[in-house]
Structure 1
Amino acid sequence: MDVQVVDYRVPDAPARFVESLRQTGFAVLTHHPIPQESIERIYREWLGFFGSDAKHAYAVDGKTHDGFFSTAVSETAKGGTQRDLKEFFHIYPWGKYPAEVSPAALDYYDLAGALGAKLLQWIDQETPADVSALFSMPLSQMITGNPSTLLRVLRYPPLQGEETPGALRAAAHEDINLITLLPAANEPGLQVKDGKGDWHDVPCDFGMLVVNIGDMLQEASAGYYPSTTHRVQNPAGAGRTQSRISLPLFIQPRNEVRLSGAYLAGQYLEERLQELRGVKKI
């Protein structure tokens, strides 16, 4: 499986980017507009935050979907039996935000959200007319003014050797949303599954930005854009003793946007969330 690494600055970047999404469900960007130093700052700050007891003051309350999720209430992938080996914090513009860290993650939310809108414009312009005709509106307009786009700050803790057999940092799954933006993490592990069932490492050098298709775009395009199964593998060797921080931004359409004849976006999201144990309705 050949996930393309595309220089954001080159004239044919939109065509190459969208072709990689079409063929693999994934693409990787270099020289994109998100400063690496801001990502590294977020990694440093949030590693400290997850290592403190302060995180528990922001625990998700069951009424909304924002705040801290401990490993005890982490997700179980659709069809899986073991909880993922991770803890995370959900950031929305309207939600909880820790006083113990700087606003850097909020700034990243805005910057990455703007880039996500631009990448949806690339997909719009490169999509064949017969597929575009399936969209209820241009993809880039589906997200305008939406308060439900989610920034998840993830920490995969060091492995202790006592993990449940078969448990992974993130078990095989597909994302729910339109597209996901993910800066290269501070440790490797992201893998994508091809049509033969084989797993392949996704390029993850610092400075790269991974983008993948979610189920909503697959639904809206009647499968033209594939939502590809991926996972985060447990590390071996010295990597087992290291935490891994990850910053996926899940670009969501507004709830009232029609994805297909079967689904509005809000209905689709609610159905999928109920399939993830430990995650409540928004």
Structure 2
Amino acid sequence: MTDSNTDIAVVSLAQPLESIAEDLGRSFQQYGFAVIRDHGIPQELIDKAESLSKEFFALPEDVKKAYHIPGGGGARGYTPFGTEKAKDAKVHDLKEFWHVGRELPEGHPLAEYMADNVWPEEVDGFKQTFGDLYSAFETAGGRVLEAIAIHLGLPREFFAPTVEDGNSVMRLLRYPPLEGEEAEGAIRAAAHGDINTITLLLGAEEAGLELLTADGEWKAVAPPEGALVVNIGDMLDRLTNHKLKSTQHRVVNPHGEAAYRARYSMPFFLHFRPDYMIETLPSCIDPENPADHPEPISSHDYLMQRLREINLA
């Protein structure tokens, strides 16, 4: 089912999951990445979201910064340029972003873990559009997790309760244009691994996304137009005892004209429930691969630990 000219799997979610699970799992084991076509997110919704994202980021700086929430760890609203940095990085990433999270009803037992969303009044249709996109991302992510469960030999619905009402976050991301001779090849987002369960990324068609292979080489990820790039996060890496790999990746400014224009993308960081205990799956432990993290940790505690490392908490 792989139709890529690279070793990174490109699979269709329109196919029966049993027919793509092997290729998907192999790609996640080798690279931590795969590409998903026919993911079910309507192109009309994607186009609308991209337009509204650009409209928001074009607002004056003082208007955008009014939606920054000090002490909020960047969980909701606007995070200004030069705030986030990769773990162990010496400089901040060259980006600004907006976060949309889950909205829970009043009195929900997990509400204490999730802040309320804020919505920019200056952009018409923002709340409806990104609420719809959040739901569409979640549906696509659930399908990917079903295929992963099949690959791991688990019940198909194994992951459904682990991510129900999870602390998933959708990020609208803008890398401002760079200037000067140093722009071509500059690092816009330093090498990092994602914290969460899996990440689904829209907008990776623009050259620049690279993953670090086991051989220490940087490999470009170049999906076809409209496809999702999906990668394993640290939480799922830990749960599977590194069988599914959370791979270091970065965003490099491309060469040529594209080096001097802004880059936009929309990653969806799919998370476990805050109260889910991440404990190594017994099926991923054997004499050659003993449990690397024998002590369980809650999804929330792990998230907070990692947010402190990247300057967001």
Q: How high is the TM-score relative to the length of structure 1?
A: 0.89
Query: CA offset at residue 165 of structure 1?
Result: 12
Question: Do the aligned residues in 2 keep the contact of 1:116 with 1:251 (CA within 8 Å)?
Answer: yes
Question: Do the aligned residues in 1 keep the contact of 2:184 with 2:259 (CA within 8 Å)?
Answer: no
Query: CA offset at residue 184 of structure 1?
Result: 3.2
Q: Paired residue for 1:263?
A: 297
Name structure 2 gaps, 5 residues minimum.
Answer: 1-5, 104-115, 280-294
From 120, 133, 141, the counterpart of 1:98? 120
Find out whether 1:127 has 2:146 as its counterpart. Answer: no
Question: Which of the pair has more CA radius of gyration?
Answer: 2
Structure 2: distance between partners of 1:165 and 1:33: 35
Aligned partner letter, 1:8: L
Structure 2: distance between partners of 1:63 and 1:227: 26
Question: Do the aligned residues in 1 keep the contact of 2:184 with 2:256 (CA within 8 Å)?
Answer: no
Question: Do the aligned residues in 1 keep the contact of 2:183 with 2:260 (CA within 8 Å)?
Answer: no
Structure 1: distance between partners of 2:198 and 2:240: 13
Aligned partner letter, 1:71: F
Task: Report 1:1-282 matches (<5 A).
Answer: 2-11=7-16, 12-53=19-60, 54-63=63-72, 65-73=75-83, 75-92=84-101, 93=103, 94-99=116-121, 100-102=123-125, 103-128=128-153, 138-146=158-166, 148-161=167-180, 168-185=187-204, 187-260=206-279, 261-277=295-311, 279-280=312-313
Structure 1: distance between partners of 2:33 and 2:298: 24
Identity of aligned residues (%): 36
Question: Do the aligned residues in 2 keep the contact of 1:85 with 1:169 (CA within 8 Å)?
Answer: yes
Question: Do the aligned residues in 1 keep the contact of 2:76 with 2:99 (CA within 8 Å)?
Answer: yes
Question: Do the aligned residues in 2 keep the contact of 1:89 with 1:154 (CA within 8 Å)?
Answer: yes
Query: CA offset at residue 17 of structure 1?
Result: 1.8
Aligned partner letter, 1:153: L
Name structure 1 gaps, 5 residues minimum.
Answer: none
Aligned partner letter, 1:271: Q
Assess, with a 3 A threshold, how the Cα gap between structure 1 residues 162 and 68 changes in structure 2: closer, same or farther. Answer: farther
Structure 2: distance between partners of 1:275 and 1:167: 23
Q: Secondary structure at the match of 1:266?
A: helix
Aligned residues: 271
Question: Do the aligned residues in 2 keep the contact of 1:29 with 1:209 (CA within 8 Å)?
Answer: yes
Higher relative contact order (CA 8 A, sep 6+): 1
Aligned-CA RMSD value: 2.2
